[in-house]
Amino acid sequence: MSEFDLTLDRDRLSEVRHGAVLVTSEPAVFRVQGPGALTCLQGLLTNDLVKPGDNSLVYGALLTPKGALVVDYWVIRQADALTLIAPRSGHEASLELFRRQLPPRLARVTDLTGEARVAWLIGAHGFQTLAKSGVAIPESSGRVASVGGEVSPVALALAPEAAPFVALAVGAEPAVAALSSRLLLAGALPGLESDLHAARILCGWPALGAEIDERTLPQEVRYDQIGGVSYTKGCYTGQETVARLHFRGHTNRELRGLRW
């Protein structure tokens, strides 16, 4: 059975859409640090990491030179590092791309996969639950706050409006578990990764291995609509194809949702 095969009953679907469901996962997680970390990643990812500034959450992807999607990421930019969260299936491809394209003296990559955990809060009631928990909340959507103290901090980010979740938290397993306990005490329901996949399908968000394969172009899977690409940031790998499609052409296929 594929990880994307879903079966949700009516009550669970209602919780995913209208309630507050907390899903903890073990995706691929990388920390990139160094004097050139931001500049190097800015030249690789589809979206603009510079303009939002420190303490920001941005969605983007790495492309082939011909513009096809390789791996998609949620990127947390903080003063001392950038944290990249990718599907677990994109782990090896990420490591290979980083090895080839990031000079270690400028951008050092630490693979936190298996050590870090990510908690995703989904559902329309998620923000109210987050507020009720007493956790320090970032100032606005797309922003990040550090919670949990200096010893084992957790990066807590409010999602952009179009995202399939309300907030995410990434950090070491014990610290994320402590934060998750506060959210559960505040009324969040424990969820499974199938709940997170259901949430992304409901909002039309593509996933690696499902809607995204090795030949998929960003515009074919709604990257314009979900804010996954910038046309003003300048050059990045695969940018020529993406820009040509945007300004002069059109895709031959599109990702569309059906409601019945």
* pLDDT tens digit sequence for 120-145: 999 999 999 999 999 999 999 999 99
The answer on pLDDT for 153 being more than 70 is: yes
Structural domain spans, the chain = 1-26+116-203, 27-113+216-246
Indicate the length of the chain as a whole number. Answer: 260
Taking 90 as the threshold, does the pLDDT of residue 114 lie above it?
yes
Task: Return the CATH number of 27-113+216-246, one of 3.40.50.720, 3.40.50.300, 3.30.70.270, 3.30.70.1400.
Answer: 3.30.70.1400
Mapped onto helix, strand or coil, the DSSP state of residue 32 is strand
Residue 81: per-residue pLDDT: 95
pTM: 0.93
201-227 pLDDT tens trace: 999 999 998 999 889 999 999 999 999
Q: Comparing 1-26+116-203 with 27-113+216-246, is the CATH topology the same?
A: no
Mean pLDDT calculated for residue range 107-125: 97
Q: Are 116 and 177 in contact (CB under 8 A)?
A: no
255 or 96: which carries more pLDDT confidence? Answer: 96
- Does the pLDDT at position 92 exceed 70? yes
Reported confidence tier of residue 73, pLDDT bands at 50, 70, 90: very high
Sign, Cα dihedral of 45, 47, 51, 52: negative
- What's residue 2's pLDDT? 47
Closest CA to 34 of 85, 98, 118: 98
CATH fold group of domain 1-26+116-203? Gyrase A; domain 2 (3.30.1360)
Residue 247: burial class (beta carbons within 10 Å; 0-12, 13-18, 19+): exposed
